[in-house]
Chains A and B, each alone.
Chain A
Amino acid sequence: MTLDEILKGLFPSGHNVKTSAAGIIIGTGKRKQGKTVAVIGVANGVALGTAGVLPLAQEVLRVVANGGDIPILVLVDTQGQLMARREEMRGLNEYLAHLAKCLLLASQQGHRTIGLEYGKAAAGASLATALATDFLVGLPGAEPAVMDLPSISRVTTLPLDKLKELAKTTPVFAPGLNHLAQMGAVAEIWEPQKPLDEQLEEALKKASPVDSRDEWGAARKGRPMAAKVAKRVIAEATGRGGGDVASA
């Protein structure tokens, strides 16, 4: 689905969402009963850098400052963070974290945040957008990836065909929407033939600031240990003192 089709499907009552030449999405969509959704995002597979972050974060802060409980939809089609010396020099890590923090602030202030991956989504840009939302969904055809297999092969020195074989039996490293769903990162995969606005309304009911992704990952057998380990740490922190290990 194209971005236009997605927006039409999400907001049959209308929207004013615009995409800038630089691929920055900002606008408002109409829900039923006169309600609205704030919409931000990254389009056309562009890379997200310091310049792109600022208007997106500003929009989120505008929504929060206005009060109320307008939800925020984050549309994601990005190739990842902008890779440039001058970006790093100016502290790109702070900019990407800032956008994530603004979305997390919004969630905490009563604005449900929904992420929708419809194209690419990678690494640092994902952390700033999709992965900072309360409830992340994907449309079939979305290609989220931390890193492509050939690059993983190069860095880990594992042969590419061995990686491809392994990717068939474990969702833990290879790109793919189904893998991310199994890991608990993606809450659900939407059906493009069904009305998107209805799926959005359902998602808004399910979204919560409580992070259940590790529980989903355990239930879906994508992450057998994460939820258990976090719980065990809390148990040990609240329970006993323990630990008399000599070390040097």
Chain B
Amino acid sequence: MEDAAIYAQASWFQATARQRAAGLLDPNSFTEFLGPAERVQSPHLHLFDVPSAFDDGVVIGRGTLDGKDVFIAAQEGQFMGGTFAEVSGAKMVGLVRAARDHKELPQTVLLLLDSGGVRLQEANAGELVVAELMRAIVQARSAGVAVIAMVGGKAGAFGGAGLTAATCSRVAVSEEGRIAVTGPEVIETNKGVEEFDSKNKALVWSTDGGKNRRLIGGADAFAEDSMAGFRAAAMALLAKVPAFNLKTMQAEQERLAARQEKFGACDDAVSMWRVLGIKDPEAIRDMDSKDFAQLASSIKEANHDAR
């Protein structure tokens, strides 16, 4: 890229999956597997009169991150909401299994999640591939592979993607990133607008957004919305990655039980942040990335190895 400095500041949120893979990794280090020219597409979408993508909305391959060999998988959030489906999910599963089973291959997998969950037209295949991916991630982690989730795209990480993120060794999120199970619209449809007013943007971001996730310990790093921001977050996270074993799961059990206890009486995110000891929780929303990241690094609940 001619103007690396400008490109480094390019928005992660606005970028395509392929742009993110290229922007995150060292220049010219990315090699794509099963690229679009191979036309490994969905065998099901034509039944629904829906256009398919040459790569079924997932870009996978390998490259280097600050010289370190890594595998990378990036979901294209703009294609069918970045959803998990038979082929798109299988590409990610294959990549994680490759790292799991072959010590001579990169032992780091970067998962650039940008997904509303499961592709409804392939609902059963999508759901199942998430389960296969979660199992592969846990097995890979047990074999010493670091699996890092990076969330900051338009689709967020909902449903199966939210569970996948929490299965990874570490999670990086930007302010724009959202991580959850059921999306606000679906909660509103099922439980009513009093339960969740999905049109209230401030409510959506304080509930599912990157800042909340970082503060309560649902994400381990907060990234600026740029290639450079996510690159810095990835490199910082790779310095120390928790092992996957009984001790880690026992620690997570304690962490999640404590969170339940701590926030039991809270009705909104601001009250949770107050409980965390933040003096001016209302100011979180407008705080800039640098100040916020610094504040987050001082919160006990936000910085742990229990994942």
A and B touch in the complex (CB under 8 A): yes
A47 to chain B, nearest CB (A): 10
Question: Measured between alpha carbons, how far is A226 from B90 in the docked complex, in Å?
Answer: 5
Given contacts A54-B253, A85-B196, A172-B44, is CB(A127)–CB(B120) below 8 Å?
Answer: no
A245 x B269 contact (CB < 8 A): no
A212 to chain B, nearest CB (A): 10
Pairwise interchain contact A223-B125, C-beta atoms closer than 8 A: yes
Q: Shortest beta-carbon distance, A244 to chain B, in Å? A: 8
Q: Kindly state whether residue B27 has any CB partner on chain A within 8 Å.
A: no
Closest to B31 in A: A243
**A94/B166 in contact, CB under 8 A:** yes
- State whether A97 touches B166 (Cβ < 8 A): yes
Interface string of B262-275 (1 = CB under 8 A from A): 01001111001000
By a CB distance below 8 angstroms, the chain B residues around A108 are: 138-139, 142
Query: With the chains together, A90 CA to B262 CA distance in Å?
Result: 10
Complex contacts, A237 vs chain B, CB 8 Å: 33, 62, 71, 94-95, 98, 102, 105
Interface of A is mostly: helix
A72 on interface, CB distance cutoff 8 Å? no
Q: Are B94 and A234 in contact (CB under 8 A)?
A: yes
Within 8 Å by CB of A229, from B34, B35, B206, B250, lies B34
* Residues of B in contact with A, size category: 35 or more
In the bound assembly, the distance between CA atoms of A198 and B217 in angstroms comes to 45
* CB within 8 Å for A97 and B134 given contacts A92-B180, A226-B86: yes
Question: Which residue of chain B lies nearest to A93 when distances are taken between CB atoms in the complex?
Answer: B162
Q: How far is the CA of A109 from the CA of B22 in the complex (A)?
A: 38
User: Which of the 9-residue segments B208-216, B231-239, B276-284 touches chain A?
Assistant: B208-216
Of B36, B43, B157, B203, chain A has the most CB atoms within 10 Å of the CB of B43
Residues of A within 8 A of B95 (CB): 233, 237
Do most interface residues of chain B lie in helix, strand or loop, or is the interface mixed? Answer: helix
Q: What is the bound-complex CA distance between A234 and B34, given in angstroms?
A: 11
Known contacts A61-B253, A108-B139; decide if A211 and B132 are in contact (CB<8 Å): yes
Total contacting residues, chain A, CB less than 8 A: 83
Q: Which residues of A contact B207 (CB under 8 A)?
A: 85, 88-89
Interface-centre pick from B118, B138, B186, B195 (highest chain A CB count, 10 A): B138
Q: How far is the CA of A131 from the CA of B167 in the complex (A)?
A: 14
Judged by a CB distance under 8 angstroms, whether B257 is at the interface is yes
Are the C-beta atoms of B98 and A233 separated by less than 8 Å? yes
Assembly CA distance A130 to B303 (angstroms): 31
Please, which residue of chain B has its CB at the minimum distance from the CB of A136?
B131
Q: Tell me if B305 counts as interface (CB < 8 A to partner A).
A: no
The one of B86, B121, B246 in contact with A156, judged by C-beta atoms closer than 8 angstroms, is B121
Task: For B190, give its contact among A83, A91, A94 (CB under 8 Å).
Answer: A83
Q: Does A219 contact B (CB under 8 A)?
A: no
Question: Which residues from chain B contact A211 at a C-beta distance below 8 Å?
Answer: 132, 135-136
Binary flags per residue of B287-298, CB closer than 8 Å to A gives 1, else 0: 000000000000
User: Roughly how many angstroms separate A92 CA and B183 CA in the complex, as a whole number?
Assistant: 12
Q: Are B244 and A105 in contact (CB under 8 A)?
A: yes
A100 to B141, CA, bound (A): 14
Q: Are B181 and A81 within 8 A (Cβ)?
A: yes
Bound-complex Cα distance A173 to B138 (A): 26
Inter-chain contact A91/B128, CB cutoff 8 Å:
no
- When A61-B250, A146-B118, A147-B123 are in contact, do A234 and B216 touch as well, CB less than 8 Å? no
B251 to chain A, nearest CB (A): 10
Q: Which of B1-54 contact A (CB under 8 A)?
A: 18-19, 22, 31-37, 40, 43-44, 47-48
Q: Which residues of B contact A234 (CB under 8 A)?
A: 94, 97-98, 101-102
Residues on A with beta carbons closer than 8 Å to the beta carbon of B182: 81, 83, 88, 92, 124
A238 to B98, CA, bound (A): 8
Shortest distance from the beta carbon of B178 to any chain A beta carbon, whole Å: 10
Whether A101 contacts B212 in the complex (CB less than 8 A), given A84-B187, A173-B124, comes out as no
Neighbour of B125 across the interface among A85, A131, A226, A247, CB < 8 A: A226
Chosen A-B contacts, 9 in total, with CB atoms closer than 8 Å, are: A54-B260, A84-B187, A97-B165, A101-B138, A102-B249, A131-B130, A173-B120, A223-B128, A233-B91
The 3 closest A-B pairs by CB, nearest first: A233-B94, A97-B166, A93-B162
